[in-house]
Structure 1
Amino acid sequence: MMAGAARPSHAVEFKAKGVWLTSFQYGQNGNFTHGGHTGYDPSEDEFEARSRVRLLIDAVADENLSGQVYFEIGKSIWGKDNNPQGGMALGADASIIKLKRAYIDWRIPDTDMKLRMGIQGIGLPYIAMDGPTVFQSDVAAITVSHAFNDNVSLSAFWARPYNDNYAGGANGSQANFMDNMDMAGLVLPLRFDGLKLTPWGMFAAIGPNTFRNNNGYINQQINGVNGNYIRSGMLPLRADLLSHGEKLNAYGTAWWGGISGEIAAWEEPFRIAWDAMYGSVTYGDSSLNRAGWMAALLLEYKLDWTTLGLYGWYSSGDDDDTGNGSERLPTISNDYGVASFSGTFIGPDINGVERDRVIGNNLVGTWGVGFRLKDMSFWDDLKHTFHISLLGGTNAPGILKKFHEKTGYWMTPNNPEAQGVNAIGRESMYLTTRDYAVEFGLLNEYKIYDNLQLNVEASYVAPCLDMSDDVWGQSLTGGNHRDLRDAWNVSMLFIYAF
């Protein structure tokens, strides 16, 4: 036999999945003002049509080995040439195909331990809320999972979201030096009769040059879907303007711990679920530190035609000291999954093509209560979900005056930029303990065919902010205007999934 003979290959089964999305949307005041622009917000017209395609291919050798590659085309606004959200101008042919995930799954021989290696979706647990708050995204990582029995399992991961992005100083000196960010986490699902508990923990090390450029240590937005989210969630309010500006020469450290649970010790229709978490991040410059907590509770009662839900949450907020860091929960990214209780408008939507994040990427720095009627159904293939929420801020209003004293101008309550472009250390809306908002919406889901669904949704947010001179009264919400307007949007979304 020849020493160089190739080993015989085994047949590989290929499985394909996909999702086509096409949406049509009309709305106004997407950043709560009409001043300074003539569309939904500075980046969009009041009416927009957009599309996105996701294609997933699994290559399965057997139950012990498989691989997956996951592509995304778009999302793209019809008629728009350049990014962001471009590629659908006349003639098309744009470079808008993106790699979303690519990994292999394999089982360690003679064990039940499974490994996943490559770009994959990782998210921290949630049960009460519709999505995670601290972290959920696609990231290069290794995940190890093992089920000890029917009641106890364990998952662990190491992920590297950023590395080798620092261009260096003059003439490229120290390029790529100490610019990595690494994360490690543990998730322990526990499942018993009538009780589900999932404690979890995560640690991160953040290189001093991870977000460094010639303008400072935290001023580089790294390209990628989540480049804005991590700097808005891991740093204090406008740290680019308010921090001490001290030199960073050591790794920052962050840690989180939480527990999600569900009690169903009795038969339906009752259900109680909760999420609770705490996190802290510290840097060499103490004015960049951030630490806080969040808890949420959901009570549900199931009827024949709907599920009644009462929900509430509370998250710690900033005090009025601009030099001691932030007292809000640090967050990394929740690129997909609704980090709220209330559909797509208040936070990120699960489909990824809707107008969303009008309040923020998450509910950090707020409190709220709400009521919903979920999955109301009176006819076959048609269901509805209605919700209404009252929310307020937990940030001290005195911080706004301190901000003015240090910068010479008044911070705006809204996001004056395009969607997804948040200032460092803040979400789209920054709410104080004197501010409130009412948000409600109706989602209608109609199954046209087994693989084709139509969603028709209407959403509305009415802010009620303190406009006294020492809070928001002297800030400009758009252009040269101080007016604040209600945000609203209606949408039609076609979903073809196979």
Structure 2
Amino acid sequence: MKRIVTLVAAAALIMGLAATASAELAVKAAGAWRVHGNVLQNFDDFDDDATEQTFDVRHRMRTQFRFVYNENVMGELYTEYGNVTWGSGPGQYNATDGTTIDVKRAFIQFRWPDTDMLITAGEQDITLPSSGAFSNIVLGGSDGSAIAISSPITDMVGLTVAYARLDDSAATAHSTFDAYVAALPVSLDGMRLTPWFTYAQLGSQSDFAGAGQTEDGNFWWAGLGFNMDMLDPIVLYADFTYGSASDEVGDTSGWLIDAMIEFKGLDFAVLQGFGAYSSQNDDGDGAMPVVDSDFTVGGSLINGSSFSPGDLGPAAPGFWLVGVAARQITFVEKLSHDLIALYAKGTGDGAAGFVEAAPLTADDSYWEVDFNHRYQIYESLAAVVELAYADYDSDTLDTDPLMKASFGFHYKF
């Protein structure tokens, strides 16, 4: 309760400051709030367990406050409250498991005088580049402590360099995990390319270090995100990523390629066909190292739900998949539907790939069908229903079908 009072007091202070600030300072608010119920069956491990809870209700509120002094100087405070499970009791508001009111991002952003160089320093989005059809499998959907510098080189070519400290939890020698990123976005007529490179050094005492590691490790990744709309109404997307890790625990390297073709020539729907392949050899290694995967097929159970826990989490290397989708199906004003179907298998004998609940080998398979619905009640408020059915066929596990029905509201402002 004290945290709620503190948040209310902080909000009142922010608005009071906005009212008394100089004419140059503008305080802007934006947010994404949701409340939803979930009916889930066999969702944790595809096992028909009578003790599994099948229904819960949750809410999460993300709110951004931007303090804009002028076109050259801005600061952002981005808070998150939730996910809160209804009925968990007052203790949840002071918990340390993500149900509290947290600071998601907090950074300063400014342009260097008399240049187009944009500098962002603080807690910020550190997602690596991608084509936009799939999120980055190495590091995506993440916030972290970093400084990033972006600047145009020409009208078509830009440059972004960044340093991020991904971990310093132990605050002792060799406890850090540092990443250095460079990206070169290229915008051509009807085409966009983003080659990027990341090098990281992992301290032996970091929370990310492997068991038994006593020496620092080295990682690097190189990738290319591509999308092209010059063939309108056809849009093409593709990503290629290669990564390697070297430390005393062992060396591993691998790659991922994904692609999507999208047809926007219909008045009532957008059609998509997509696929992806990530390497893994028969010994279970040979897979690309990852920091925090965000690989997703939007709207699916693979990290694609607009609610949580409405999906199985992001995919990890060691799988291939193919799928089709019809999105934004609209026959009635304000009401739209997405229909997604996909099939996946592992790419080696190891079971490290795909999602946590379905660690695929080459002998296992997984398929799912999603049918999601959205009714735009007002411009800022939507009612959403997500339905899904999935089946995981494993050689080593006794599994049962997974079923999901999630329903709730999105408020975006």
CA distance in structure 1 between the partners assigned to 2:88 and 2:236 by the alignment: 46
Contact 1:342 1:389 in 2 (8 A): no
Structure 1 residue 363, shift from structure 2 partner: 4.7
Contact 1:342 1:388 in 2 (8 A): no
Q: How does 1:253-332 map to 2 (within 5 A)?
A: 253-266=218-231, 268-286=232-250, 289-302=251-264, 303-320=266-283, 326-332=285-291
CA distance in structure 2 between the partners assigned to 1:436 and 1:369 by the alignment: 12
Identity across aligned pairs (percent)? 30
Contact 2:62 2:81 in 1 (8 A): yes
Structure 1 residue 62, shift from structure 2 partner: 0.4
2:198 paired with 1:185: no
Give the partner amino acid of 2:412: A
Contact 2:279 2:317 in 1 (8 A): yes
Deviates more, 1:297-306 or 1:70-79: 297-306
Query: Unaligned regions of 5+ residues in structure 1, if any?
Result: 1-7, 40-44, 167-174, 219-239, 401-410, 415-425, 467-471, 478-482
CA distance in structure 1 between the partners assigned to 2:147 and 2:267 by the alignment: 43
Structure 1 residue 63, shift from structure 2 partner: 0.5
CA distance in structure 2 between the partners assigned to 1:293 and 1:52 by the alignment: 35
Give the partner amino acid of 2:58: R
Structure 1 residue 320, shift from structure 2 partner: 2.0
Query: In the TM superposition, what whole-angstrom CA distance separates every residue of 1:143-189 from its partner, at most 9, and x where no partner exists?
Result: 100122331111111000111x33xxxxxxxx711101100101111
Q: Return structure 1 stretches of 4+ with deviation > 3 angstroms.
A: 8-11, 32-37, 86-89
Q: 1:19 aligns with which of 17, 32, 45?
A: 32
CA distance in structure 1 between the partners assigned to 2:198 and 2:43 by the alignment: 34
Name the CA shift for 1:144/1:128 in 2 (closer, same or farther; >3 Å): closer
Normalising by structure 2, what TM-score?
0.88
Q: How does 1:71-470 map to 2 (within 5 A)?
A: 71-81=79-89, 86-87=92-93, 96-127=100-131, 129-136=133-140, 137-163=142-168, 165-166=169-170, 176-211=172-207, 218=210, 245=212, 248-249=214-215, 251-266=216-231, 268-286=232-250, 289-302=251-264, 303-320=266-283, 326-334=285-293, 339-347=295-303, 349=305, 351=306, 353-357=308-312, 360-396=313-349, 399=350, 427-466=356-395
CA distance in structure 1 between the partners assigned to 2:356 and 2:40 by the alignment: 21
Structure 1 residue 465, shift from structure 2 partner: 2.1
Q: 2:66 aligns with which of 46, 52, 58?
A: 58
Give the partner amino acid of 2:198: M
Q: More strand per residue: 1 or 2?
A: 2
| CA RMSD between the two structures | 2.6
Contact 1:452 1:497 in 2 (8 A): yes
Partner of 2:77: 69
Query: Unaligned regions of 5+ residues in structure 2, if any?
Result: 1-20
Name the CA shift for 1:458/1:119 in 2 (closer, same or farther; >3 Å): same
Name the CA shift for 1:254/1:452 in 2 (closer, same or farther; >3 Å): same
Give the partner amino acid of 2:241: M
Normalising by structure 1, what TM-score?
0.73
Name the CA shift for 1:438/1:342 in 2 (closer, same or farther; >3 Å): farther
Partner of 1:491: 406
CA distance in structure 1 between the partners assigned to 2:331 and 2:316 by the alignment: 32
Task: Find the residue that maps to 2:358 and give its secondary structure.
Answer: coil
Task: Find the residue that maps to 1:333 and give its secondary structure.
Answer: coil
CA distance in structure 1 between the partners assigned to 2:90 and 2:175 by the alignment: 30
Structure 1 residue 428, shift from structure 2 partner: 3.1
Contact 2:279 2:318 in 1 (8 A): yes
Higher relative contact order (CA 8 A, sep 6+): 1
CA distance in structure 1 between the partners assigned to 2:62 and 2:99 by the alignment: 15
Point out the structure with max Rg over C-alpha.
Answer: 1
Contact 1:382 1:445 in 2 (8 A): yes
